[in-house]
Structures are given as C-alpha cells and as structure tokens.
Structure 1
Amino acid sequence: MIDIDPNGTGLPGIEQLRVIVGAVMTVGLILSVLALIISAIVWGFGANSSNPHLASRGKLGVLVSCGAAIICGAAVTLINFFWGVGQTV
C-alpha cells in the first residue's frame, strides 16, 4: 500500500508561491467588485434609458462578476473537497 500526502516543504519557494496565490485571489476579488459596480451602473443606465440591450448586458455582467467572486472565494474549499473525493477513489 502506498500512502503519499502533499508535502508543503518539499520544494524551495512553496511559501512564496502560497503568498502569490493569495495575492492573486485578492486581486480577483477586487476586480469582481469593480466589475459588479460597473455592471450595475450599466444595468441602471440601460433600464432608465429604455435600452433593453444595455440593460441585459448589465444584468449579465452582474451575474458573471458574482460568479467570479464565488469561484475566487471558494477556490481553496473546492480544491480541498475534490482532493478528498480523489482520495476515496
């Protein structure tokens, strides 16, 4: 039987890589908030100017930015979940 677990100290630079990944997640969340604000503004302009195309683009932008924030925020949990599922195979 082979039992292998992830090794957090096996390679040089792992800690710096963790810091970089955390920073990228932060940037992703900040950009998601920015996209949400811009999309809400576009949605509002489209709704108030009777422009259904602009309003639908704003709605889609709101949904996409919320989805991106969910994925950025839940990335570690999703990876850990699927790691656990993979370990049971």
Structure 2
Amino acid sequence: MQSLFLAAAGYTFKVAPDPNVPGAVGIQHAINGFAVYALMAAAAGFLLGAATWAIGGRIGNEHTAVGGKIGMVTSLAVAFLVGAAATLLNFAFNLG
C-alpha cells in the first residue's frame, strides 16, 4: 500500500481548459444568454426598488423606503457580479 502512494506522489495533475472541445460554443452562448437575463432582472429590480423607495418616502412609510433602497443596492451588486464573473473566476483559477 505504501508503494501505491509513492507512485502517485510523482504524478503531477494539470488542468488546462480547452475552449475547442465539442459543445463549448453552445455552452458559451447559453452562459451569455443567462447573463443577459440576469442583467435584465437586475435592471428591473433596480427600477422596482427605486419606485418602492419613492412611494415609501412619499407616503411616510420608512420601512417600505428602506426596502426599496435595499432592493436597489442588491440589484447593483447582482449587476456587478454578473459583469465581474469571468474576471473573478479566472483570478480564482489562476491562483492554483
């Protein structure tokens, strides 16, 4: 059993993503489509948050106004993460 571990210790694993594998183009198109829908949802959430903040502030309901502000900030964070996803994932992959 000891010799099995010593033999495996000399092997080096390498991961090299190859974008030319079959189906990669279709998966990339699906990811891009998902990103578009995520950004559309973030834009809708931002506008709904702004409307909620405005209505809550106008009627004097502070709880509703704060909910609108949180919705706007959350939508901004989602849009940031969608835009930064590739950079963040490449950074994490290159750490290894």
Deviation at 1:3, TM superposition (A): 4.2
Deviation at 1:8, TM superposition (A): 1.4
Deviation at 1:85, TM superposition (A): 1.2
Q: Normalising to structure 1: TM-score of the pair?
A: 0.88
Following the alignment from structure 1 to structure 2, what is the Cα–Cα distance between the partners of residues 37 and 85? 37
Between the two structures, name the one with larger relative contact order (CA 8 Å, sep ≥ 6): 1
Structure 2 unaligned segments of length 5 or more: list them: 1-11
Q: Normalising to structure 2: TM-score of the pair?
A: 0.82
Q: Percent identity?
A: 27
Deviation at 1:57, TM superposition (A): 0.6
Provide Cα deviations, 1:9-55, integer angstroms capped at 9, x if missing partner.
23x21110000000100110111011100100000000111001100
1:25-40 mapped onto 2 (5 Å cutoff): 25-40=35-50
Residue 17 of structure 2 is matched in structure 1 by 6
How large is the Cα RMSD of the aligned pairs?
Answer: 1.2
Deviation at 1:4, TM superposition (A): 3.7
Tell me if 1:50 matches 2:60: yes
Structure 1 unaligned segments of length 5 or more: list them: none
Following the alignment from structure 1 to structure 2, what is the Cα–Cα distance between the partners of residues 2 and 53? 54
Highest Rg: 1 or 2?
Answer: 2
